[in-house]
Amino acid sequence: MKKFVFVLLALLLLVPTVSIFAQDTLTMGSWRADDVEKMNALFDVYKEASGVQIDFQPTNPPDYNATLRLQLESGTGPDLMYVRSYATGADLYKSGYLAKINDLPGLADSLTEQNLAPWTIDGDTFAVPVIAVTHAVYYNKDIFAANNIEIPTTFEEFLAACETLKAAGVTPLANGVAEEWDILETFFLGMLPNYIGGAEERVLYESGEKKLNDEAFVKAYTDMAKVAPYLPTGFEAVTYNDSQILFATGKAAMFMDGSWTLGTYGDVDFEWGTFAMPAPAGSETAITFHLDAAIGMNAASAHPEEAKAFLAWLCTQEGVDALAKYLPVGMYPISKLEVTLEDAHAQEMLSLTNEKLTDVRFVWPALMDLYSPMNQAVISVLKGTDPQAAADTVEVAFEALKK
Amino acid sequence: MANTNSRRIRGDSSLNPTWHYWMLYLLPGVIIYIVFMAYPLLDSIRLSFFTGTGAERTFTGLSNYVKLFTDEVISTRFWTAFGHTWIFFAIHMLVQNVLGIIFAVILTNRTMQGSRIYQTIIFLPVTLSILVTGYLWKLLLSPVWTGDILNSIGLGALSKPWLGQESTALIVVSLVSCWQWVGMPTMMFFAALQGISEELIEAAALEGTSTWDLFRYIQFPLIKPVVGVVAILTFVNNFNAFDVVFSMEGANGAPNYATDIIGTFFYRVGIAGQHPVAIPDAGLGAAVATVIFLMLAAFVIPTLIQSQKEG
């Protein structure tokens, strides 16, 4: 009897080792814990095409960076992994954990240099971009129709529309500042390219050639402040969740938000759409199209060929189609190839970027340390601080960082 | 209390022949204390001399402490949070503990009817999770959700973004915390007041003492040791407070760090990292924790010794 138990235990111990050698299974790390089902569907498509199984192993989003680093340091990192844009991802590459993929077949055909920039350092590309988000104004078509309002084409028209709505007793905008991050990321950074331009201008600010309290910035803060009367009463205490409810229940007519909430309004009982936050008269409307996530491969992977094949597949039309189909609504695949989305609202929001200048969120590439100062500056102008004074605080913070 | 006991045991009683004997009985407690309290504490002090995460941890001496006190942004945040914690503490002493004594005196009054029901009502919030009550208060205090109701009953002036104004946010959050925890001091004072000998109260009543004099000259002096203990507990808990601010204002202590207290500051620095970069600095966090520990110890130990002497 004892012997039997012993043999049984020995067999049980063998099972995991056997299964590792038996099949080609790649593992993938991610912070997108909400997407397990959809990603598994995507991997099923890939398995059919290639015979390689991918196992999605997401971590709790806030812990991803730390967990991934620990795994990589101890040699237990996943074969494939989500890589954050700019510094966080570049750090991993510099530590030697990510493979260089410049010669990946199809890479240049599918992605532009601008697409790859967040995951390229000194000419070395280390991940294939997969998820982008965009920012726009959600609007209630029924309320717009009832008040004879057209989609505004300039910021002045936008303010006029807000005034009409306010006079009619409707809260024009659902945005609030209680949670702080949303007013900066979705609203201010969403409309900032209208005032300062795209990537070419952005780098001038990063290098210090242009000041963060120059005319363009002050104008942006000034226009931000003009929005304050049209936010909900007590917007100081309105949370992101409150804003969503205000818009979804038809209490507010508009909501400047990111594309990631597109799926939230699936069952509201009114017609809605999205439009790009218009630039002031005389300027071209631009859009913040933020490159958020890429997939890279572990430099120490036991299955380098298979991992590389998957990344190459992501650069094919078939791969882009699968991404378009299985990424959560409002998270867009990044590609030069044709992207067709099933969700009409998502397609509409993506089409806003057509023919327009786009850039990532201003602080992400190099000025992440200015996130908090800029966040507070934006909130302070809404609460009545002078726009010039608010812009100055950000420039002062930038100067302090350079020391 | 512990002092008098040990003094008696150390004496030449025939029941306790040698000190080896009672040491054995202490052993389990001491081991648990060392493993779960002393070791983590010392380890976190050790951690405060290192930088980096995981395997890349490197010794940096006192640089975390230097950074904490000299880096402009970090030191400003630290001292702001430190100041707010004192305000938070003061409001708890003034509101929570004073209300606790008042409730306890009323509840122990001999003419009081339905004392049990009131005890339950007062104690109830203590048993609820602050994540739930904090969220409910957030809705109650938001003009978006209660503004219409308040306007319709003529109290529109009360409909303010209390949690969104820098001038009111910290006070309101502290008051919600007082509401949540007032049951604790109430119960402690209640128990202490019940411990007062009935004869004393009766004798005073026969002499025709007013309620105030009864409290001033008999009840309060007799429950003074408990007042000291409650004050220390309030002090320690406030320096450890985190959940009420986290649930009502988020980890950043919004608006504009107006409700940032030591607990949320430590959480951002050492555990979560600030949104959206979210790279925590465990070494710096440990330095914050160590500084707080030293401050607490410097305040609590003398107070404890003092109150033990009086007791």
pLDDT digits (tens, 9 = 90+) for A188-236: 999 999 999 998 999 999 999 999 999 999 999 999 999 999 999 999 9
Is B173 an 8 Å CB contact of chain A?
A: no
**What integer pLDDT is reported at residue B77 of this predicted model?**
93
Same domain, A255 and A390: yes
- Assigned token pair, A28: 């993938």
Q: Residue A9: pLDDT above 60?
A: no
- The domain in which residue A170 lies consists of 133-289+356-402
A368 touches chain B (CB under 8 A): yes
- Compute the nearest-CA separation of B69 from chain A (Å): 16
Distance CA A302, CA A309 (A): 14
In a mutational test of the A interface, the residue from B75, B144, B246, B274 whose CB has the highest number of chain A CBs within 10 Å is B144
- The alpha helices in A269-370, defined as continuous H runs, are 304-314, 317-326, 344-351
| Residue B177: predicted pLDDT | 95
> How far B252 CA sits from the closest chain A CA (Å)?
9
Instruction: Using CB atoms, pick whichever of A73, A232, A400 lies closest to residue B55.
Output: A73
Tokens for B71, please give them. Answer: 């880096």
**Beta carbons within 8 Å of B214's beta carbon, 6+ residues apart:** B201, B204, B205
Q: How far apart are CA B273 and CA A183, in angstroms?
A: 20
The answer to whether position A156 is within a domain reads yes
Using the Cβ of A76 and the Cβ atoms of chain B, whether some distance falls under 8 Å is answered with no
Whether A373 and A238 map to the same domain: the answer is yes
Q: Which residues contact A297 (CB under 8 A, 6 or more apart)?
A: A79, A80, A81, A98, A99, A101, A304, A307, A308, A311
- Interchain pair B250, A177: CB under 8 A: no
B90: number of Cβ within 10 Å = 12
Cα–Cα distance between A109 and A116 in angstroms, integer?
12
Q: Which residues of A touch B167 (CB under 8 A)?
A: none
Partners of A235 on chain B (C-beta within 8 Å) are 161, 164
Token pair for residue B177?
Answer: 């915390």
In a domain, A348, yes or no: no
| Helix and strand numbers, DSSP H then E, in chain A | 19, 11
Distance, CA of A98 to CA of B165 (rounded, Å): 46
Looking at the fold, whether A364 and A280 belong to one and the same domain comes out as yes
Residues of chain B with Cβ-Cβ distance to A246 below 8 Å are: 144
Is A360 strand, coil or helix?
Answer: coil
- The DSSP output letter for A237 is G
- Residue of B164, B278, B279 with shortest CB distance to A237: B164
In a domain, A349, yes or no: no
For residues A165 and A250, membership in a common domain is answered with yes
Of A107, A124, A40, whose CA–CA distance to A314 is shortest?
Answer: A107
Q: What are the CB-based long-range contacts (under 8 Å, 24+) for B132-140?
A: B133/B176, B133/B180, B134/B176, B134/B243, B134/B244, B134/B247, B134/B248, B135/B247, B135/B248, B137/B176, B137/B248, B138/A237, B138/A239, B138/B163, B138/B247, B138/B248
Same-domain pairing of A366 and A322: no
Could you report how far apart the first and last alpha carbons of chain B are, in Å?
Answer: 8
Q: Do A78 and A150 fall into the same domain?
A: no
pLDDT of residue A17: 45
Q: Do A235 and B54 touch (CB under 8 A)?
A: no
pLDDT in tens, A10-51: 555 554 444 444 457 899 999 888 889 989 999 999 999 888
Q: Which residues contact A246 (CB under 8 A, 6 or more apart)?
A: A171, A174, A232, A238, A252, A255, B144
CB contact (8 A) between residue A177 and residue B143: no
Closest CB to B274: pick one of A178, A179, A372. A372
Indicate whether A102 and A153 sit together in one domain.
Answer: no
- Is 60 exceeded by the pLDDT of residue A1? no
Number of domains in chain A: 2
Q: What is the pLDDT of residues A99-137, one digit of tens each?
A: 999 999 999 999 998 899 999 999 999 999 999 999 999
The shortest C-alpha distance from B89 to chain A (Å) reads 24
Whether A359 has a pLDDT exceeding 50, the answer reads yes
Q: Are A298 and A77 in contact (CB under 8 A)?
A: yes
Q: What is the pLDDT along chain B (311 residues), one digit of tens a residue?
A: 444 444 555 555 555 567 777 788 889 999 999 999 999 999 999 999 988 765 567 888 899 999 999 988 899 999 999 999 999 999 999 999 999 999 999 999 888 888 899 999 999 999 999 989 999 999 999 998 888 889 899 888 888 899 999 999 999 999 999 999 999 999 999 999 999 998 998 999 898 888 899 999 999 999 998 998 899 899 988 888 999 999 999 888 889 899 999 999 999 888 877 777 667 788 999 999 999 899 888 988 888 788 777 65
Give the gap in angstroms from C-alpha A233 to the nearest C-alpha of chain B: 7
Within a domain: A3: no
Residue A327 in any domain: the answer is yes
Average pLDDT of every residue of chain A: 90
Does residue A1 lie in a domain region? no
Three-point CA angle A100, A105, A108, nearest 5°? 85
d(CA B48, CA B287): 5
Backbone angles phi, psi at B79, to 5 degrees: -70, -35
Closest CA to B60 of B44, B70, B49, B68: B49
Q: State how far the Cα of B132 lies from the Cα of B127, in Å rounded to an integer.
A: 11
Give the CATH number for residue A388. Answer: 3.40.190.10
- Shared-domain flag, residues A58 and A73: yes
SS (H, E, C) A131-178: EEEEEEEEEEHHHHHHCCCCCCCCHHHHHHHHHHHHHCCCEEECCCCC
Q: Does B252 touch chain A (CB under 8 A)?
A: yes
Same domain for A315 and A172:
no
The ipTM value here is: 0.80
CB contact B250 to A (< 8 Å) = yes
Is residue A57 domain-shared with residue A172, that is, in the same domain? no
Assess B159–A contact: CB distance below 8 Å, yes or no. Answer: yes
Same domain for A302 and A285: no
Delineate the domains of chain B, giving CATH numbers in brackets.
48-310 (1.10.3720.10)
CB–CB contact B255 A234 (8 Å): no
pLDDT-derived band at A340 (thresholds 50, 70, 90) equals: confident
Best of A91, A183, A372, A393 to disrupt the B interface (most B CBs within 10 Å) is A372
Residue pLDDT, tens place only, A58-103: 988 777 887 888 888 888 999 999 999 988 889 889 889 999 999 9
Output the pLDDT for position B278. Answer: 64
Question: Do A200 and A244 fall into the same domain?
Answer: yes
